């Protein structure tokens, strides 16, 4: 027997947390009946459906590095979005993304059919590094750098960001290394300090970099890269 949310994750549909949300919304069935959060199944006998489609455990691990363009929304279903990430890729197999970028940002997104890898990558307590190239609307000062690196209190979220590393790259340009992923975090941090982000690109997720990928392109990670990513994420 296996927990239903774990089985859904292992099929590459989404993370376990997202699987529980799908179950709560009545979108998951087991043998023709609505599933319940916390239930277990026999993966050798029970038939599981998500949104009416039968799902099966993966027979191989796929991990993809994708250069998300500006204007693409990281969502599987959004009636207000003009372009959805999985529609842009049009892959022959089912994958989902580990971590989002907002519609106005671009850069590296990791997609995979390995639910356990997604869970490992999404654990905020692990403090996995993500690096961004940021351009702002006015000159970066020493005071700005100091405040960004020491953590910024985000009034609308009621939290202070973790300390981070900022590397100045030009008058209005810098790289920022974060170990957390609050919603629109960099934009919110800059807003609090009186700056506006004019462009934002993620160039690294842990040990995987954007490299030579051009906007809209993707590549499959090799076995060594996948294994190193799994180790960096703290998974099995």
Q: What is the CATH number of the domain that holds 37?
A: 3.10.290.10
Domain span including residue 21: 2-54
Would the pTM count as exceeding 0.85?
A: no
How many structural domains compose the chain? 3
143 and 187 together in one domain: yes
102 is catalytic: yes
Instruction: Judge if 217 and 114 occupy the same domain.
Output: yes
Residues 134 and 175 in one domain: yes
One domain, residues 191 and 215: no
What pLDDT was estimated at residue 123?
79
Instruction: Going from the first residue of the chain to its last (236 residues), give the mean pLDDT of each consecutive group of 10, the final group possibly shorter.
Output: 88 83 95 95 92 82 94 84 86 83 95 86 84 98 98 96 96 97 95 98 96 95 92 77
Q: Is the backbone of residue 203 left (phi > 0), alpha (psi -120 to 50) or beta?
A: alpha
Q: Do the beta carbons of residue 75 and residue 227 sit within 8 Å?
A: no
Residues 201 and 221 in one domain: no
Q: Which of 90, 102, 104, 191 is catalytic?
A: 102
Does 200 share its domain with 133?
yes
Q: How far is CA 46 from CA 37, 41, 42, 57, 92, in A?
A: 16, 6, 6, 12, 25
> Would you state the pLDDT for residue 236?
53
Q: Are residues 120 and 181 in the same domain?
A: no
Instruction: Report pLDDT for 59.
Output: 64
- Distance in angstroms (rounded) separating the CA atoms of residues 176 and 133: 7
Q: What is the CATH number of the domain that holds 114?
A: 3.30.70.580
Query: Are 138 and 198 in the same domain?
Result: yes
Residue 183 tokens, joined: 């919603």
Residue 109 confidence (pLDDT): 96
Whether residues 35 and 72 share a domain: the answer is no
Q: Is-contact 177 131, C-beta < 8 A?
A: yes
Do residues 100 and 199 share a domain?
A: no
Place of tokens 């403090």: 127
- Distinct helix (H) and strand (E) counts, the chain: 7, 17
pLDDT of the residue at 82:
85
- 174 closest CA partner among 159, 153, 195: 195
Q: In this structure, are 201 and 137 located in the same domain?
A: yes
Rg (alpha carbons) of the chain, rounded to whole number: 19
Q: Say whether both 79 and 196 belong to one domain.
A: no
Distance CA 125, CA 149 (A): 19
Distances (CA, A) of 45 to 2, 42, 58: 12, 6, 16
Last residue of a domain, one of 13, 37, 54: 54
Q: Is the dihedral of CA 169, 173, 175, 176 positive or negative?
A: positive
* pLDDT for residue 36: 96
CATH classification of the domain holding 142: 3.30.70.1560
């Amino acid at each position: 027997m296996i927990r239903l949310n774990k089985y859904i994750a292992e099929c590459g549909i989404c993370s376990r947390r997202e699987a529980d949300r799908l179950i709560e919304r009545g979108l998951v069935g087991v043998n023709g009946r609505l599933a319940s959060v916390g239930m277990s199944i026999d993966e050798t006998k029970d038939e599981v459906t998500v949104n009416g489609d039968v799902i099966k455990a993966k027979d191989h691990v796929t991990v993809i590095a994708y250069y998300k363009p500006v204007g693409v929304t990281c969502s599987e279903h959004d009636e207000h979005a003009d372009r959805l990430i999985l529609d842009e890729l049009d892959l022959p197999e089912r994958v989902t993304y580990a971590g989002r970028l907002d519609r106005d940002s671009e850069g590296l997104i990791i997609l995979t059919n390995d639910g356990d890898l997604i869970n490992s990558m999404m654990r905020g307590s692990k403090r996995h590094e993500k690096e961004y190239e940021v351009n702002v609307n006015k000159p970066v000062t020493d005071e700005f750098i100091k405040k960004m690196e020491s953590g910024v209190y985000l009034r609308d979220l009621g939290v202070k960001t973790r300390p981070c590393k900022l590397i100045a790259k030009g008058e209005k340009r810098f790289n920022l290394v974060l170990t957390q992923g609050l919603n629109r975090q960099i934009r919110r941090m800059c807003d609090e300090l009186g700056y506006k982000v004019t462009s934002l690109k993620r160039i690294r997720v842990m040990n995987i970099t954007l490299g030579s990928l051009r906007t809209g392109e993707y590549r499959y990670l090799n076995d060594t890269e996948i294994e190193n990513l799994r180790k960096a994420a703290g998974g099995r």
